[in-house]
Structure 1
């Protein structure tokens, strides 16, 4: 793996939590739907083996809550939603990311201020 490929992987990993929080800003989501929506985001990929431990960490940090919904077609489904703390955290993370991107743009000469 060359430098750029490694860097790209690290950036994606660093932004995956924010990506999940932003998807949950849209409302309660089922795990499979989260995976499907993340895969629609250019440059991102995710597997169940990555998503569910990440959601578990977010739940333990008080950012996400879960609820089980009975399903007529199989086992109960677990739905994920942001807590108030999760919504606040997503907002702060989005603002911070924007500040970082603005700073980077100002360094590469593309800042339009």
Structure 2
């Protein structure tokens, strides 16, 4: 049983079934893994855990691609990584910054609200 070939076939079927480009599928997959991790683990998106799970999922995806194609396809691999991680990373950074700003005490005479 060739797991990498089965996985590649499944991914190909998803692409054909949805009509979406591979790059867009990576964007959606990254966000789906991020949100599923949030729901399943209960960790907030401002903690590193959901982002690390997305990174691990993308690593597994690229390793299976590498096994299936018998070589690294660096142009494709690097674009896949960027497309998968960009929005989860932006959410993580934005929410981290917001959390840090929310913790700062208001400056006297310049209180919000």
Q: Shorter chain as normaliser: what TM range?
A: 0.3 to 0.5
Identify the structure with the greater helix proportion.
2
Structure with bigger strand share is 1
Please say which structure displays the higher CA radius of gyration. Answer: 2
Normalised TM-score (structure 1) = 0.33
